[in-house]
Structure formats: structure tokens, C-alpha cells
């Protein structure tokens, strides 16, 4: 049997499956990494991993592509396998090897060839129809959109911001459509255990989305983007982050959120944002919340400014809570806490100023009354969601004040109990349960009893069953914390921080852990 050939050096170092694309591994490119190359002179033609062309190899110098296997792709979900055809498969794209760690700027500003407007033909392809059908698009792509996890059951038929915002943009902007197709492919591949969808189709669409995003950003440097084009950039970045969550729960090197901030700055400087641009406010608000989440793992990662968070809170309306769960007041408080913690880590403020700010924030969080607030719907369980986020943030403030405080501390355990009690009142068949991964994770990191740990993992399984999406990061991190804590000897009660398992000193730019 002919061997497929060795993996690229980058995939070898990361101990992951390589697609062996030439001249660059497309899996590396889609992750914003530089493919370090191969030890021989042969490559796959395309990225076939199964079917008629599995294990096919030709000399690297040859450019002729192998034809696709015959037969049309099905238009719907009658089959779970979607083959990659000539009409929808992007060709391999070359990315220069500029450095070992590629930041968002170098990814997005790559020169790209002229892009022919292929939106109409892409929408007409059988593969696109099947993937959009999986996303709950009607075949006419006019009526509805439901992408996995965050997009699932957010709002009703008229109220869903994804249905109102992403659908019209994806119909007009091919880069966003590529991003949605990539997300749908990886999600469907996970559900059906179809490795081709996960390792080939989704990677190719993701690469095309990155290239389209690159072109938009490059255009924005030379001319002013229209509001629709700017909003498409924000939407594409958010969908690609959902792709990261669906694939691994980790956004490598933090390129997407940091890149979103670099796009935000010119827009805010030139005209500012207000309630008039609700679509832009919605996307920026979601990205600002993801910026908060990644900063839980390391305060230096915070990049969105206080002005942006305040704009989101004042102009975003209750759609912020509808999608992200966290009340806007809590969002602002914890944002200020993380901003001060970043200043302290960077040596820009004193220990006294840092502790004073955090103590004031802890008092404000405890005084916040979830029952007196208004929520996106009359469902009384919104109060439980708010309480869970309130005490999850209180836990994080405790950890910023004293990282060594034992988990057995009475005030730590009191906050843990508040989170677990609040989440216990939300049944598995309620859509609100999908908003609670972060609070459950924060409480789980400080649980001491095995039955509490079992409860947290059970709730994660409830969320996975309901959303049909598994973000492996929360449970994996908790298992590492619990294992390390169980290994402590008698009398050793020092804290085991989950953040110890998310930091890699050898990386100049840390990965983003997206615990949602």
C-alpha cells in the first residue's frame, strides 16, 4: 500500500493530524501558523483523505489536479457524506513562510489573487445547499439560519439577531458565506464522524474565508469600507471563532479577537458607533465579551477598550444578554477589573491601586441585585442565569486578589454554592442552559466534592446534547485541576489554578481559551 507521506514539521511538533497539502499544509494556514515544510518532494494532489483518490501522490512540481469522483452531491441531509467537487473546492493557496508565529496582521494582509464574484455559483452548488440545509437554511437561503451552539435557538423567529444580521450579509458577502460553510462542515463532520468534512471540506472553506477577510482588510487600508463591508468583517471573525470552538475550543495565538480590535479602531476613530448601527454594535459586543472570556485565562490578553464596552452596554440593548447570558452591568464591572489587572501585570499601577479597585468591584458585585433587573424575556430563570454570572465573576475577583487562596476558603465555597444552586434550577431542555458554560466552569474549578464535580460534568453533557456541539476545553481543564488537587499531600491546601494549564511561556502570543 502506498504511504500517504510524512506530516509537515509544524503538525509533527503539535502532535496533530496533517492534511499534507503542498506547498503548505492547509490546516496550518487555516490556523494562522507557518507550515515548516516536508522532508520529501512528494505531495497529495488536493487534500483527499478517503474515497477514490485516497493516498494518491504525484511529484510536487506537477500542477495538474486530479478530477473529482463522479456523481452529484446530495442537496440535503439524506446522506451524511459530502464529497469535495471541482465546483466548490478551493485550490491550494500559497502563504509565504514569514515567521514561526504568524499574527493576525500577517495572515490578513497576505496578497491574494483577484477574486471573481462566484457567490451565485457557490449558492447553487450541491455541497453548499447540503451544508446550508444542515444550518437550517431553507434551500432558497431566504428564511432562516441556525448555526451550532451560540446561534442555536437564540431568540424567536423574528427576534434572532443571527437570522436578522448574518443571513442578509452571507447572501451578499462571499467571505462570510465561506466562514458559515466551514463552521457547518466541521459541525456536521463531528456529528457524523466524517473525517473528510472535518479535515478537508471545513479547512478549505475556512482558508477561503481567511483569504476573503484578508482582501477586505487590505481594501480597508486603501479606501473606506462601506458599513456592510465593515459589518461583514466583524461577522466573519465571529463565525470563525465559533469554528474554533467547534474544532478544539482554542483559538491559536489569539489572532481572531486581536484582529477584530485592529479592525474596530479605525471605525471608532473615524465616526464612532452608536445605536444607529445596531448590526455592528451586536457583533462588536459579542467579540468584546469573548475578549473578556479569553482574559480570564490571562489578563494581558485583554485588548478591547472600556469605551467599546460602554458603547456596547448602552447601545446594544438586551440582545447582548440574549446571546451571551452575562448581564451588561456585570460585563462592565468585570471588564474594569480585568483592565486594572492588566495594568498591574504590566507594571502600570501600584499594588494599592490594584487592590483598592478589586475590593470596590467585589463589593459592587455582591451588592448587585439580579431580581431587580429586566431581561430579554419574561422567563423567571433569567434571574438564575444572571446570578450564576454574578458569582462566577466574584470567584474570579477573589482569584485576582489572592491566587493562592485555598479552594476550601469559606468565601470561595459560598460563591461556588451560589453558582451551582442557580444553575440547578435550569432544566436540561431549557435553551438558557447553553449560556452557562463559563459560570459552571468557574464554579467547577473550585469544587472539592466528587458529587459537585460530577454535577458540573453532567451539566456540560446536557449542554452538549442540546447544542450538538462539544467544546472540549472546559471539561479537559477541570479534569487537570481536579487531578492535580487530588495529588496534593496531607496538609497541602494551596490553590491549584486552572490558568496554570493555559499558559505556554515559549509562545510569544498565547492561545485563546474560549470557555463558552
Cα 446 to Cα 142, 215, 325, 358: the distances in Å are 46, 45, 21, 20
Q: What share of the chain is helix, strand, coil (3-state, %, to 5)?
A: 55, 0, 40
Check if the beta carbon of residue 478 is closer than 8 Å to that of residue 456: yes
Grid cell 447540503 in the structure block, residue: 130
Cα–Cα distance for residue pair 265/307, rounded to 1 Å: 11
Question: Closest Cα to residue 285, out of 254, 259, 317?
Answer: 317
Grid cell 458603547 in the structure block, residue: 311
**Lowest mean pLDDT segment, chosen from 228-237, 291-300, 402-411:** 228-237
Cα–Cα distance for residue pair 257/210, rounded to 1 Å: 14
- Spell out the domain ranges in the chain: 1-65, 75-93+104-247, 248-513
Look at residue 469 in the predicted model and tell me its pLDDT: 81
CATH class of the region 1-65: few secondary structures
Residue 425 exposed, middle or buried by CB count within 10 Å (0-12, 13-18, 19+): middle
Cis amide leading into 23 (omega within 30): yes
pTM of the model: 0.75
Highest mean pLDDT among 73-77, 140-144, 410-414: 410-414
Look at residue 88 in the predicted model and tell me its pLDDT: 39
Question: Closest Cα to residue 186, out of 253, 120, 134?
Answer: 134
Counts of helices then strands in the chain (DSSP H, E): 21, 4
Grid cell 431566504 in the structure block, residue: 142
Check if the beta carbon of residue 248 is closer than 8 Å to that of residue 472: yes
Interval 463-469 mean pLDDT: 86
Look at residue 256 in the predicted model and tell me its pLDDT: 80
CA end-to-end span of the chain = 43
Look at residue 401 in the predicted model and tell me its pLDDT: 96
Question: Closest Cα to residue 393, out of 441, 448, 457?
Answer: 441
What is the pLDDT confidence band of residue 225, given thresholds at 50, 70 and 90? confident
Amino acid at each position: 500500500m502506498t504511504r500517504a507521506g510524512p506530516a509537515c514539521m509544524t503538525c509533527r511538533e503539535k502532535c496533530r493530524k496533517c492534511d499534507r497539502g503542498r506547498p503548505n499544509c492547509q490546516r496550518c494556514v487555516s490556523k494562522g501558523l507557518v507550515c515548516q515544510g516536508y522532508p520529501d518532494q512528494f505531495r497529495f494532489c488536493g487534500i483527499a483523505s478517503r474515497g477514490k483518490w485516497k493516498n494518491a501522490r504525484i511529484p510536487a512540481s506537477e500542477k495538474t489536479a486530479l478530477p473529482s469522483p463522479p456523481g452529484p452531491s446530495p442537496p440535503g441531509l439524506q446522506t451524511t457524506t459530502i464529497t469535495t467537487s471541482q465546483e466548490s473546492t478551493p485550490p491550494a493557496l500559497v502563504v509565504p513562510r514569514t515567521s514561526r508565529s504568524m499574527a493576525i496582521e500577517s495572515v490578513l494582509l497576505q496578497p491574494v489573487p483577484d477574486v471573481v464574484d462566484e457567490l451565485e455559483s457557490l449558492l447553487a452548488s450541491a455541497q453548499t445547499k447540503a451544508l446550508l440545509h444542515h444550518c437550517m437554511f431553507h434551500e432558497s437561503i431566504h428564511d432562516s439560519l441556525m448555526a451550532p451552539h451560540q446561534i442555536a435557538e437564540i431568540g424567536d423567529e423574528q427576534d434572532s439577531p443571527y437570522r436578522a444580521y448574518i443571513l442578509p450579509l452571507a447572501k451578499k458577502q462571499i467571505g462570510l458565506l465561506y466562514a458559515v460553510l466551514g463552521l457547518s462542515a466541521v459541525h456536521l463532520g463531528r456529528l457524523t464522524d466524517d473525517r473528510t468534512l472535518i479535515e478537508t471540506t471545513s479547512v478549505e472553506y475556512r482558508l477561503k474565508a481567511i483569504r476573503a477577510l484578508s482582501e477586505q482588510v487590505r481594501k480597508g487600508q486603501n479606501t473606506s469600507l462601506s458599513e456592510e463591508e465593515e459589518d461583514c468583517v466583524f461577522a466573519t471573525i465571529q463565525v470563525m471563532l465559533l469554528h474554533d470552538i467547534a474544532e478544539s475550543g482554542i483559538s491559536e495565538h489569539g489572532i481572531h479577537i486581536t484582529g477584530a480590535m485592529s479592525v474596530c479602531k479605525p471605525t471608532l476613530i473615524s465616526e464612532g458607533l452608536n445605536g444607529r448601527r445596531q448590526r455592528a454594535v451586536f457583533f462588536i459586543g459579542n467579540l468584546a465579551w469573548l475578549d473578556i472570556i479569553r482574559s480570564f485565562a490571562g489578563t494581558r490578553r485583554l485588548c478591547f477598550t472600556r469605551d467599546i464596552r460602554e458603547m456596547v452596554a448602552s447601545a446594544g440593548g438586551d440582545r447582548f444578554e440574549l446571546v451571551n447570558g452575562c448581564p451588561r452591568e456585570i460585563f462592565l464591572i468585570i471588564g474594569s477589573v480585568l483592565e486594572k489587572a492588566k495594568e498591574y501585570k504590566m507594571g502600570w499601577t501600584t499594588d494599592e491601586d490594584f487592590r483598592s479597585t478589586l475590593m470596590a468591584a467585589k463589593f459592587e458585585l455582591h451588592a448587585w441585585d439580579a431580581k431587580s433587573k429586566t431581561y430579554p424575556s419574561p422567563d423567571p430563570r433569567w434571574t438564575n442565569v444572571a446570578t450564576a454570572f454574578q458569582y462566577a465573576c466574584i470567584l474570579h475577583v477573589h482569584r485576582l486578589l489572592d491566587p493562592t487562596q485555598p479552594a476550601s476558603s469559606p468565601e470561595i465555597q459560598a460563591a461556588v454554592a451560589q453558582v451551582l444552586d442557580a444553575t440547578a434550577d435550569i432544566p436540561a431542555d431549557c435553551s438558557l442552559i447553553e449560556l452557562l458554560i463559563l459560570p459552571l466552569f468557574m464554579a467547577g474549578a473550585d469544587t472539592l466534592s466528587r458529587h459537585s464535580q460530577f454535577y458540573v460534568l453532567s451539566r456540560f453533557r446536557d449542554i452538549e446534547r442540546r447544542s450538538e456541539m462539544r467544546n472540549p476545553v472546559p471539561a479537559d481543564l477541570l479534569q487537570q485541576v481536579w487531578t492535580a488537587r487530588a495529588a496534593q499531600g496531607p496538609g497541602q491546601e494551596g490553590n491549584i489554578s486552572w490558568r496554570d494549564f493555559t499558559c505556554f511561556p515559549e509562545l510569544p502570543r498565547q492561545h485563546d481559551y474560549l470557555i463558552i
